[in-house]
């Protein structure tokens, strides 16, 4: 008497091959963009090490140093204007990222995504590591670090339009908000891992805080080259499996981007023989054509202000915690990861609510409005005790990153497959790049303004962030009303 099939095997075989391929692509793209964000985070952790409070550090007796105030700092960040210099580094990356993003979507529509992502991650790994090598090569030139930031900002634009296009090609609108809400946690996971990895080395050899993330993202670039399957408008399906391209008619998950290649035979049976793949010759959408899609302009402007707030926290929160709560660099970096933990929960919640209600814009506005008073409370009472700090960081992270995550994922994918495109699925990367590129202008402005305003007091920085959150909500509704009246 033979035994029944093992429960684990029954579970594994209960999933269709289509489901396995989707899950595999979802996991791969999650790892890819986790690596992108992981390599961006170290600069925020290292800031408090490049300019330290030297009076609290025991100076080696054999050092003959005349300037006791700055002996432990890393030139050129040992000056009184160090915050402005940090702002320059942030802005070099973010301005280059914002400019490059508008072109990246155009390239992403016309180049193989597998090659595009692989080259982007390998290049980002190179420039991230070069920043850290400045420690070992004893480089003290602001121009060197600024150039590395500019180049890294440009090559990092390869990531977002490409991974969103990949996921959009595999998943339709059925549960897009929830799926992309969970998937978009790669941003926060990358920030958390980047903080933890950088924190391990920051106090002993801060160069490794960049070199290790650089090696990680370069490794994922190699992984991408060997394993990524890009399904774009059904092209290339026959090279994987006919089952990959079959639609799940019940869930509607594959519509409208994946094509059904199962055909009915004369006797009513369904043939699973590979059919000839009809390649889509639809031209990629133009920049102006993407702008004319309803919703692209208003959500782009909304993301500008929402991303301003998110990226200010990304680049300045560890330094703020270090200055206000008087934590060491590593402890401040570890504490800042709670903001990203809250961001994971906020992104998932925003996706679930928007799927259930069907109102992505309403979900964004409610979270943005709620974020403003929470930011004020965090600055006012957030450092009173450890419990309050943890709670406020989680709540603020969820409310700040929730709308940002929803716009850059589900909203961008919805607009990239808008009904006005009449089935042209080659707009997804361009639309995503326009929305995220406009948002990246805000991402560049936020850290720059924080660097300029912070010497006048952290209160003023938070007033700027609160204003930006309110404007994000207002500009979306105002622009929508204006455009619909035309």
Which tens digit of pLDDT belongs to each residue from 112-148? 889 999 999 999 999 999 999 999 999 999 999 999 9
Measure the CA–CA gap between 484 and 314, rounded to whole angstroms: 35
Mean pLDDT of 201-222: 94
Query: Which candidate, 284, 397, 275, places its Cα nearest to that of 335?
Result: 397
Task: Tell me, yes or no, whether 143 lies in a domain.
Answer: yes
Task: Tell me, yes or no, whether 255 lies in a domain.
Answer: no
Structural domain count, the chain: 1
Task: Tell me, yes or no, whether 335 lies in a domain.
Answer: yes
Model confidence at 247: pLDDT above 50: no
User: What is the value of pTM for the model shown?
Assistant: 0.73
Task: Tell me, yes or no, whether 401 lies in a domain.
Answer: yes
What is the pLDDT at residue 181? 78
Task: Tell me, yes or no, whether 114 lies in a domain.
Answer: yes
Helix, strand or coil, per DSSP, at residue 185:
coil
Model confidence at 97: pLDDT above 80: yes
250 falls in which pLDDT band (50, 70, 90)? very low
Mean pLDDT of 12-25: 76
Task: Tell me, yes or no, whether 65 lies in a domain.
Answer: no
Task: Tell me, yes or no, whether 68 lies in a domain.
Answer: no
End-to-end CA distance of the chain, in Å?
76
Mean pLDDT of 164-183: 73
Please write the tens of the pLDDT for every residue from 46-72: 988 887 756 555 555 554 555 555 556
Please write the tens of the pLDDT for every residue from 214-228: 999 999 999 999 999
Give 263's strand partners: 271
Measure the CA–CA gap between 271 and 262, rounded to whole angstroms: 6
Where is pLDDT greater, at 284 or 126? Answer: 126
Measure the CA–CA gap between 425 and 169, rounded to whole angstroms: 8
Residue 450 CA: distances (Å) to CA of 18, 312, 440:
47, 7, 15
CA trace torsion 316, 321, 322, 327 (10° rounding)? -150
Domain containing 307 — which CATH number? 1.20.1250.20
Please write the tens of the pLDDT for every residue from 297-327: 888 889 899 999 998 998 889 888 888 877 8
Task: Tell me, yes or no, whether 258 lies in a domain.
Answer: no
Measure the CA–CA gap between 252 and 214, rounded to whole angstroms: 39
Q: Which domain holds residue 108?
A: 16-55+79-237+278-485
Q: What is the mean pLDDT of the chain?
A: 78
Model confidence at 212: pLDDT above 90: yes
Q: How many residues are recorded in the chain?
A: 486
Beta-carbon-side half-sphere exposure of residue 277 (alpha carbons within 13 Å): 20
Six-digit token pair at 442? 């805000």
């Amino acid at each position: 008497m033979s035994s029944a099939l093992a429960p684990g095997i029954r579970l594994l075989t209960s999933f269709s091959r289509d489901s396995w391929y989707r899950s595999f692509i979802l996991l791969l793209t999650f790892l890819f963009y986790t690596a992108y964000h992981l390599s961006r985070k170290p600069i925020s952790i290292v800031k408090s090490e490049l300019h330290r409070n030297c009076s609290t550090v025991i100076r080696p007796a054999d050092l003959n140093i005349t300037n006791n105030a700055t002996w432990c700092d890393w030139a050129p960040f040992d000056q009184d204007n160090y915050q402005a210099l940090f702002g320059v580094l942030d802005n070099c990356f973010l301005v280059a990222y914002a400019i490059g993003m508008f072109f990246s979507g155009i390239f992403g529509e016309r180049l193989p995504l597998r090659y595009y992502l692989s080259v982007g991650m390998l290049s980002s790994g190179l420039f991230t590591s070069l920043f850290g090598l400045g420690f070992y090569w004893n480089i003290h030139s602001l121009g060197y670090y600024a150039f590395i930031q500019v180049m890294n900002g440009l090559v990092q634009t390869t990531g977002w339009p490409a991974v969103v296009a990949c996921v959009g090609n595999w998943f339709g609108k059925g549960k897009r908000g929830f799926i992309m809400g969970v998937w978009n946690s790669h941003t926060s996971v990358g920030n958390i891992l980047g903080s933890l990895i950088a924190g391990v080395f920051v106090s002993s050899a801060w160069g490794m805080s960049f070199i290790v993330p650089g090696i990680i993202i370069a490794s994922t670039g190699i992984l991408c080259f060997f394993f990524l399957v890009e399904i774009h408008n059904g092209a290339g399906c026959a090279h994987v499996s006919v089952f990959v391209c079959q639609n799940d008619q019940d869930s509607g998950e594959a519509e409208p981007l994946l094509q059904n290649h199962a055909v009915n035979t004369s006797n009513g049976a369904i043939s699973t023989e590979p059919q000839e793949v009809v390649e889509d010759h639809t031209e990629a959408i133009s920049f102006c054509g993407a702008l004319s899609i309803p919703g692209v302009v208003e959500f782009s402007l909304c993301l500008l202000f929402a991303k301003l707030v998110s990226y200010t926290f990304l680049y300045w929160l560890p330094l703020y915690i270090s200055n206000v709560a008087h934590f060491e660099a590593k402890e401040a970096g570890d504490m800042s990861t709670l903001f990203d933990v809250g961001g994971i929960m906020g992104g998932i919640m925003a996706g679930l609510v928007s799927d259930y209600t069907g109102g992505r814009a309403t979900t964004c506005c409610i979270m943005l409005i709620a974020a403003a008073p929470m930011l004020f409370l965090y600055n006012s009472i957030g450092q009173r005790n450890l419990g309050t700090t943890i709670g406020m960081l989680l709540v603020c992270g969820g409310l700040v990153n929730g709308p940002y995550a929803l716009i850059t994922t589900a909203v961008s994918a919805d607009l990239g497959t808008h009904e006005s495109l009449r089935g042209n699925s080659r707009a997804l990367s361009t639309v995503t790049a326009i929305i995220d590129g406009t948002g990246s202008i805000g991402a560049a402005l936020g850290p720059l303004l924080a660097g300029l305003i912070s010497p006048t007091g952290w209160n003023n920085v938070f007033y700027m962030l609160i204003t930006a959150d309110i404007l994000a909500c207002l500009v979306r509704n105002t622009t929508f009303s204006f455009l619909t009246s035309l």
